[in-house]
Chains A and B, each alone.
Chain A
Amino acid sequence: MTELEAGRAETLVPVRSGAALQRYRDVLIALVAFAVLASLPLFTGSKALLDFLIRCSAYGLFATSLNLLVGYTGLTSFGHGMFFGLGAYSFGLIMQKLGVPIPVAFVATLAITAVIAAIIGAICVRLKEIYFAFVTLAFQMLIHSTILSWASFTGGDQGLRGGIPRPVFLGINLANHVHLYIASCALLILGLLAMRQIAQSPFGYTLRMIRDNAARASFLGIDVWRAKLTVFVLAALFASMGGMVMALFVSGAYPEFAYWTISGEGIFINMLGGVSTFLGPMVGTVLLLLLNDTVTRFTEYHGIVLGVVILFFALGLRKGLLDFVADWFAHRRETGEGR
């Protein structure tokens, strides 16, 4: 169905002639980024740094997938964190109960997420703006309450304890810290690359058109509901990947992963980094995690510090950091040419 829309969209939205070139460039950047990240353990033995980057991978996948909804499609989801929690829980449960190899559990979790996201999305994406936000929030809390109350299966408020088994697969031992780190980076880079392809594809431009003028998109023959549902499910898959990385990292799953605050943090990360650039959420992720880590080290009142920083971004810059930088560069280039 996306091909069909893509075909239509292509005639509507002029895709840049250098699309193939840009794709090669993206792949090249991804390869270089992965090479740099993967060679990091050769230079530093710092466990804290690697831990930090693993957490960045988990949150980065989640936040960037949320940006597909918020930034590209204009769907402000307050419940995107449910798929983060869902990924963590279903991955953990499959590994604990069935003992299958990790890639099998990985694919199975993605399949489960896709089905659930399709059902929830089918209900939600019909609704507009603030109502969409609240229904997604309600579903998030519904899943959170289910996890809490179905204690015999999910461990209730204690979370999924006892550790997630991490059997060796093709020589990759995720119980080994460096292996886990490299696997997380690989997932992050692959996920980002895939999301970049979605964002730059004709389907991605269809989403931007829906964001800017859904009625017009509909007049032009695009099935808006279908396109929104498709991106809702796609975004859920990447969020679920983030959840799986998190579950592997902490070797468990906790109800907080499915609590609405995760969604709130995702929105916050997006605002911090900026929603109009692809890498904005990634910048936001690093900023928020750095901020959290440093502030909690210095004061127990990190709420005040975090709040003031948010206010600085919201009232001072009025946009995310990367948006601000991008605008600043654009402005400078313009004035530079004018001279």
Chain B
Amino acid sequence: MDLDALAGCLSSSACLVTQTTSGLIIGMLLFLVAVGLTLIFGVLKVVNFSHGAFYMFGAYFAMTAYQLTGSFALAMFAGAAGTAVLGLIFERVFMSRVYGADVLMQLLVCYAFVLIFDDVVRIIWGPEFKSMGMPAAFQVMPLFIAGGVVPPYYLLLIGVALVAAIVLGIGLSRSRIGKVIRAAAHNPGMVSALGINTGLIYGGVFALGGMLAGLAGALAAPVRSLTPGMGFSVLIESFIVTVIGGMGSILGALIGALLLGLIRSFGSLGFPLFTEGLMYLFMVIVLVSKPTGLFGKEAA
């Protein structure tokens, strides 16, 4: 425990800005992964245990596309689009077979794919740590805000995640497709009876969730190292986010992710060895006081 370091940081504006931005980017990346998880759970009622694999594939797709084309925009596109296709295939071919089955059976199918996907990455890209490197466009002087260092790439990352959050939020509540998705989440039998292809909606939602995780992976590729199994810690953390925020709630995922990101960045100062423990402790406290999460709806 190092409470002096934490107190020292809280009293210095430079440290405060640096830690807050690093907390925000952790939170924003987590949000992109967690919102897909929460969306898939909300509509399909499936806990996608293999969601971390989409994050991993997003990062690897982006790295390969960047190495081939040298374009950062194309790399982001490859990460998002590649995982969207992967998500669609995964849902249609495998997950759709276990909808009626036991929750454990669904988890088992996902667990199988966690194992398979990790090895697929190991075969294609090799087991060693990889790095995509920061694109040239962002290799500029960092900004100094109140004495704190903020790399411009962090601002882009936060911006993209925020845009995704707003588009998702408005799209789901206002657009026709959003309404159909919410209706399908509520009563799939009725939606299907009204002549809407629910299978397509399920596939689409899964693809969207996969795409968001892939985008997160692509965005993280320049700042994190790539390794098979990298999706796992992200998966566990985004589970915590969805559980804290309330399963199925987009706003909850955003708030939960930001809280967790800040806990991580400030916790690493005060409790360097117990940072992970802090997150789990926070989750326990939230769940014990409000079992459905901060923004979860009471079960009917």
Interface residues of A in 254-284 (CB under 8 A from B): 260, 264, 267-268, 270-271
Q: Which of B112, B243, B292 has the most CB of A within 10 A?
A: B112
Q: Provided the pairs A271-B104, A304-B115 are in contact, do residues A314 and B280 lie with their beta carbons within 8 angstroms?
A: no
Task: Check B292 against A310 for contact (C-beta < 8 Å).
Answer: no
Q: Which residues of A contact B114 (CB under 8 A)?
A: 307
Contact with A along B108-151 (1 / 0, CB 8 A): 11011111101110110000000000000000000000000000
Tell me if A230 counts as interface (CB < 8 A to partner B).
no
Interface stretch (choices B60-68, B165-173, B198-206, B281-289): B281-289
Tell me if A70 counts as interface (CB < 8 A to partner B).
yes
Tell me if A225 counts as interface (CB < 8 A to partner B).
no
Q: Which residues of A contact B243 (CB under 8 A)?
A: 131, 134, 138
Interface residues of A in 286-327 (CB under 8 A from B): 301-304, 306-308, 310-311, 313-315, 318
Pick the residue among B101, B107, B288 that contacts A318 (CB under 8 A). B101
Tell me if A29 counts as interface (CB < 8 A to partner B).
no
Pick the residue among B119, B239, B277 that contacts A301 (CB under 8 A). B119
Task: Check B109 against A314 for contact (C-beta < 8 Å).
Answer: yes
Q: Provided the pairs A134-B243, A138-B240 are in contact, do residues A267 and B107 lie with their beta carbons within 8 angstroms?
A: yes
Q: Which of B97, B104, B109, B118 has the most CB of A within 10 A?
A: B104
* Closest beta carbon of chain A to B45's beta carbon, Å: 10
Q: Which residues of B contact A115 (CB under 8 A)?
A: none
Pick the residue among B115, B116, B274 that contacts A145 (CB under 8 A). B274
Tell me if A151 counts as interface (CB < 8 A to partner B).
yes
Task: Check A313 against B108 for contact (C-beta < 8 Å).
Answer: yes
* Closest beta carbon of chain A to B221's beta carbon, Å: 22
Task: Check A310 against B103 for contact (C-beta < 8 Å).
Answer: no
User: In the complex, which residue of chain A has the Cβ closest to the Cβ of B123?
Assistant: A301
Task: Check B112 against A314 for contact (C-beta < 8 Å).
Answer: yes
Task: Check B103 against A145 for contact (C-beta < 8 Å).
Answer: no
Q: Which residues of B contact A260 (CB under 8 A)?
A: 236
Q: Provided the pairs A127-B291, A267-B107 are in contact, do residues A139 and B112 lie with their beta carbons within 8 angstroms?
A: no
Pick the residue among A131, A151, A314 that contacts B108 (CB under 8 A). A314
* Closest beta carbon of chain B to A276's beta carbon, Å: 11
Task: Check B291 against A307 for contact (C-beta < 8 Å).
Answer: no
Tell me if A27 counts as interface (CB < 8 A to partner B).
no
Q: Is the interface of A mostly helix, strand, loop or mixed?
A: helix
Interface residues of B in 241-300 (CB under 8 A from A): 243, 247, 271, 273-274, 276-277, 280-281, 283-284, 287-288, 291-292, 299
* Closest beta carbon of chain A to B215's beta carbon, Å: 25
Q: Which residues of B contact A148 (CB under 8 A)?
A: 273, 276
* Closest beta carbon of chain B to A82's beta carbon, Å: 11
Q: Which residues of A contact B116 (CB under 8 A)?
A: 303-304, 307-308
Task: Check B283 against A138 for contact (C-beta < 8 Å).
Answer: yes
Interface residues of A in 108-129 (CB under 8 A from B): 123, 126-129
Interface residues of A in 132-170 (CB under 8 A from B): 134-135, 137-139, 141-142, 145-146, 148-149, 151
* Closest beta carbon of chain B to A65's beta carbon, Å: 17
Pick the residue among A76, A134, A270, A308 that contacts B112 (CB under 8 A). A308
Tell me if A130 counts as interface (CB < 8 A to partner B).
yes
* Closest beta carbon of chain B to A111's beta carbon, Å: 24
Task: Check B98 against A138 for contact (C-beta < 8 Å).
Answer: no
* Closest beta carbon of chain A to B1's beta carbon, Å: 9
Task: Check A135 against B112 for contact (C-beta < 8 Å).
Answer: no
Report the Cα distance A148→B104, complex, angstroms: 29
Pick the residue among B113, B274, B299 that contacts A128 (CB under 8 A). B299
Q: Which residues of B contact A310 (CB under 8 A)?
A: 108-109, 111-112, 115
Task: Check B120 against A304 for contact (C-beta < 8 Å).
Answer: yes
21 A-B pairs (CB sep. < 8 Å): A70-B104, A123-B288, A130-B103, A134-B243, A139-B284, A141-B236, A141-B276, A264-B111, A270-B104, A301-B122, A303-B122, A304-B119, A307-B112, A307-B113, A307-B114, A311-B94, A314-B98, A314-B105, A314-B108, A314-B112, A315-B97
- Give the 7 A-B residue pairs with the shortest CB-CB distance, closest first: A145-B277, A307-B116, A149-B273, A310-B112, A303-B115, A303-B119, A307-B115
